[in-house]
Chain A
Amino acid sequence: MRISTGTRISLRVIALGYLFVLLAVPIAVILWRTFSPGIGEFVASVSTPAAQSAINLSLLIVAIVVPLNVVFGVATALALVRGRFRGRGLLQAVVDLPFAVSPIVVGVALIMLWGAGGWFGGLDNAGFKVIFGLPGMVIATLFVTLPFVVREVEPVLHEIGQEQEQAASTLGANRWQTFWRITLPAIRWGLTYGIVLTVARALGEFGAVIMVSSGFPGVSQTLTLLVHSRYIDDHNTYGAYAAATLLMGIALVVLLLMTVLDRKRSDR
């Protein structure tokens, strides 16, 4: 197709104009609104006690969710790639399920299972609060981040095959040695990529977490819940902008990491 310069330029203008109005301008405006009162104001807004406790809670959830996802994610990937058992296809589908489920539906489902009137309601009545407590927020985050590690590690496991592991085994290495010395180094970039995605989603999850959190400022608010409550409950628009900008900064770091890791991965 030979496109005339006029058509080419107008297509370009439409495409860039769309991205400009949808992405670039809103982001520029929020940055401007956040930083126009000065950096000091921004720092003050994201270091109030409520904000600090929100940051701590978000990091705590990440610190619990990531190790669990790594252990069970790698185990699941190994089972899916190396395992020969009935119901493997079903397991595959279950791993993908969280992608198709709305975050709000995740929240409702967890309430129906762990809530006071749910299947595991006995726990709640026995004094172990899952819903409206930290365990609920952790489980909600686990649900939405479950596929990442599995889906990043799985293709790498396919690719490396089993020859090296078999060689190690032939030379007398036991299962753990084979795993630590052969399998883990081979999947490290895929795993790291999965971890980055998990961290990003865990920090950014909103819908599922708000359903199962009591949302008390300073107690059970994550960073995303802080943005929401500042805007809705406190009418603290500036505070919401500042907290959102902080989250956006984290997201940008994640995006950068992903690009770097991606290059590393494809260099291999």
Chain B
Amino acid sequence: MTARIHQRRGAAAAAPLPARPEADKHQPDEHRPDGNRPGEREDRDGIRPRVSGDDATDPGAAPPPSRPRRRIGLARPLGVGVVTLWLSVIVLLPLAALTVASFGEGVSGFWAAVTAPTALASLWVTVLVSAIVAVVNAVLGTLVAWVLVRDEFPGKRVVNALIDLPFALPTIVASIVLLSLYGPNSPIGVELNATRWGLVVALLFVTLPFVVRSVQPVLIEADREVEEAAASLGASNWTTFRRIVLPTLAPAILGGTGLAFARAIGEYGSVVLIGGNIPRETQVASQYIQQQIEIDRPLNAAAVSVALLAIAFLTLLVLRVLSSRTQRREERDA
């Protein structure tokens, strides 16, 4: 059982998604009790005097270091400086340049760019479609996780492996894959290209793993005795689900749904072919931004980009607040 859980966690970890930050934020806390972190300073200081004396034991290995202080770890000031510089040039400076550019004509210029009718419409389509996708994911993702954990059927392992496929596939491939079935000349006669339903299907495809992979481990670890107790006390299946199972799963469902929403907001590759890019109809914000760059309106592109970033950050912030609140409640209950 543990092996299976590990595998699941690993599978979720494989996802190029914002799920990791959440998980990793807790890492330092989890590991602190092992005594690795807080003690390291003292250990290092304690060892230092002995270091130079032991050099003679391994003459071939290394010349005696002149400054033992710098021996352990690469995280010296120089290393930190290089890392900071790297992260700044690759990540921070571009985003700073973007933000400054979006306010190139002042706050009013920014506001005018974001509230231009087509810009606003594209943001609205993005949020609307992403919200639909998030809700469908919450319901069907949980259902899929449930079936994969509590049900037994031949080929379950294959189905389980299939769930990760959307994360592994390049987004443009997702687009083509869906077009081959739901596009022009559809073999089943369902043509969804250039409709909002096409957008929904494409986004459902790329966000499928989020809810499934966050609910699965919780469901595996859930205490089934409580469910049985409820059932033996006469609770119906629906009551048991509503009162026992759902509250346990709620944080995981919410987390997965939020991540799916955040991903759907910024998605481009998977919707670019199937969406049709019709302004006010199926043009999502990322397509609008791309179009504004193409017709040389960098201010509009930058402003809507910043708006999109703001929505994504807000979503992730709400998620973090909610998850820390549940955690606190759990700690209080425990």
Given A83-B79, A158-B36, CB of A105 within 8 Å of CB of B305 = yes
Size of the chain B interface, CB-CB below 8 angstroms: 121
Find out whether the CB atom of B31 lies under 8 angstroms from the CB atom of A100: no
In B140-186, which residues have CB < 8 Å from any A CB? 140, 143-144, 146-148, 151, 153, 159, 161-166, 168-173, 176-182
Q: Is the interface of B mostly helix, strand, loop or mixed?
A: helix
B321 on the interface (CB 8 Å rule)?
no
Find out whether the CB atom of A110 lies under 8 angstroms from the CB atom of B94: yes
20 contacts between A and B (CB under 8 A): A1-B230, A1-B241, A15-B144, A16-B159, A33-B180, A100-B262, A102-B286, A104-B290, A119-B97, A158-B27, A158-B28, A158-B31, A171-B54, A174-B61, A197-B16, A206-B170, A210-B290, A228-B273, A231-B176, A255-B164
Find out whether the CB atom of B176 lies under 8 angstroms from the CB atom of A240: yes
Find out whether the CB atom of B97 lies under 8 angstroms from the CB atom of A113: yes
A251 on the interface (CB 8 Å rule)?
yes
- Chain B positions within 8 Å of A265 at CB level: 10
Find out whether the CB atom of A266 lies under 8 angstroms from the CB atom of B7: yes
Question: Closest residue to A144 on the B side, CB-wise?
Answer: B16
B90 to chain A, nearest CB (A): 5
Given A24-B162, A154-B24, A200-B168, CB of A162 within 8 Å of CB of B173 = no
Find out whether the CB atom of B14 lies under 8 angstroms from the CB atom of A108: no
Chain B interfacial positions (CB closer than 8 Å to A)? 3, 6-7, 10-11, 13-14, 16-18, 20-21, 24-25, 27-28, 31, 34, 36, 40-41, 43-44, 47, 50-51, 54-55, 57-58, 61-65, 70-75, 77, 79-80, 82-84, 86-87, 90-95, 97-98, 100-101, 140, 143-144, 146-148, 151, 153, 159, 161-166, 168-173, 176-182, 187, 201, 204-205, 208, 227-228, 230-231, 237, 240-241, 245, 262, 265-269, 272-273, 286, 289-290, 293, 298, 301-302, 305, 308-309, 312-313, 316
In A96-146, which residues have CB < 8 Å from any B CB? 96-114, 117-119, 139, 142-143, 146
